[in-house]
Structure formats: structure tokens, C-alpha cells
Amino acid sequence: MAHYLAHLEVERRMAANTLQAYARDLDRLTGWARRAGRRPDTLDRSDLEAFLRDLMAEGLAPTSTARSVATLRGYYRFLRLTGRITANPSDDLPSPRQFSALPRSLSLDDVEALLQAPDPSTPKGLRDRALIEVLYATGLRVSELVGLRLTDLHLERRYLQCAGKGARERIVPLGEAATDWVTRYVAEARSRLVGRRDNAWLFLNARGGGPLSRNGFWRVLKAYGRAAGIRAPLSPHVLRHSFATHLLERGADLRAIQTMLGHADLSTTQIYTHVLEARLRQAYDQFHPRS
């Protein structure tokens, strides 16, 4: 890849910012291939499409994903012209608009390992256990999760209220386990985190007692993912996808999932049916004697 980047810099005279963006795209590709036990120059067309779907599922902006497509096309064209590969797997690679990203989700075992990672004997650990329990139990967006206030909780009736996109209010059920952990967090840990200046936010920063930020929770979740041995990329959105996928796998109504996720349009929720289709295809290809 260094040869390709040098080619862009010296022969194509690419601007420094654009060159850095291409380098980031190729770093992502290298990391993805490494996790699959492969080298980038051995990937085929289906691998590249899977890579792009993963970028989209992880929340990469459409413009950035489109640039990644351009990076792949240029990189593999360079490999083909320099004789490093015999066929270009990026020929006619579709743009991000031409296929939907299959949301990444965790297995039940990974979810359980993640939930067990925080140490609830400490105020911060108890807060973190409650955070992850609520996210997996509700499928909230990360901004909705860290924006919860004490008054949004209705623990005796096991539901919460949140303000989603467009300031649309919705009610989301809260499971028994999540209700128990939030109740314990509020009773035992929150007052120890808030310090002297009380406020209305449910989940507080461990340093100073202010509201927990989105980036703060992102870092917390990634650290617990590493501690739990989860090798796949982990983000709050992955747990949101896991919530929806696991409900659908167990027969939940798509309209109900739409309401809980706060999707304005059912077509947005229908992407989870494609997850099940992909898993069925994988099972068929693996086990059918004539596949």
C-alpha cells in the first residue's frame, strides 16, 4: 500500500488532505482483511462488498463510504496495472447507494460477556452495568441514552420515555433485568457520582458528576468490549442492532420493533429482515448436502 500512496503523492500529485483520507481508507481495509486472516491483495468482489457493508453498519457517513469505494477502485486498479494481481476485484464495484448495509450484531454469548464485564461493586462499574443493560434492553440511540433524565424513568411500570430524532417522544419497555440494575444504580451509586451539585441527568460522568457524553460512553463500551474478549468492532450502534435482531429472531413484530427503535418509516426497520435472510443463506450453504 505504501507504493500506491507514493504513486498518488508523487505521480498523481494528490493533495495532502485527500492523501490522508485515502490512507485511512486503506488502513481500514488492511485491518478488516487481517481480522479475516487475509491480505488485501487476496480479497475478491464479495469480500470488498462485505467490507463496505461493515463500514456502513458501523455508521461511516455516506460521503466517506463513497470515497472508500473510489479508494478501493484506484488501489486495485494500481495492483492490476503493476502486475501484483491478475484480476481486479473492484471492477464495477457498486456505490454505497446500490446496496444496503447489513447491520452488525453480537451473539447472545458476546452480549452476556459484555454485560458481565463491569465491576458492580464500584459506583462507576454499577453505572456502566446499568448503562449497557439499558442500551441492550431498549435499543436506544447513544444520544438518547446519555440524554435520559431521572424523570424519564417509570421503573415501577418498567418503561422509560425518550426524545428521539425530530424531538419525537416515545415510550420504550424496560426489561426486568435492566429495571433491576437501574434501580440499584440510582439507589447505590448515582449519589456517590453526583457530588455536591445535583442535576437531572440519569447517567453521570465519574469525574465531576456532570452528564455522561456520547464519546465518553463510546470509550467505556469499547474498553468493556476488549475486556470481554469481543474481537469484532463494537459501538453503541452495534448493541442497538443486536437488540432489534435478537427480537426479530424470536418472533417480535416488525411494527413493534419500529416503534421501539423510533424509526419514522417501516422501510428503515426492514433491513433487519435482510440480516435473517443472510443468516439463513449462511446456514444453508454450510449444512445443505448439495449447496
Residues involved in catalysis: 141, 165, 237, 240, 263, 272
Which residues, including other chains, have CB under 8 Å from residue 195's CB and lie 6 or more apart? 208, 209
- Amino acid 152 reads D
Q: Which long-range contacts (CB under 8 A, 24 or more apart) does 63-72 make?
A: 65/96, 66/95, 66/96, 67/21, 67/25, 68/25, 68/28, 69/93, 69/94, 69/95, 69/96, 71/21, 71/22, 71/25, 71/26, 71/29, 72/25, 72/29, 72/48
Nearest one of 134, 125, 141, 139 to 227, comparing CA atoms = 125
Q: Cα-Cα-Cα-Cα dihedral of 274, 275, 277, 281, to 10°?
A: 140
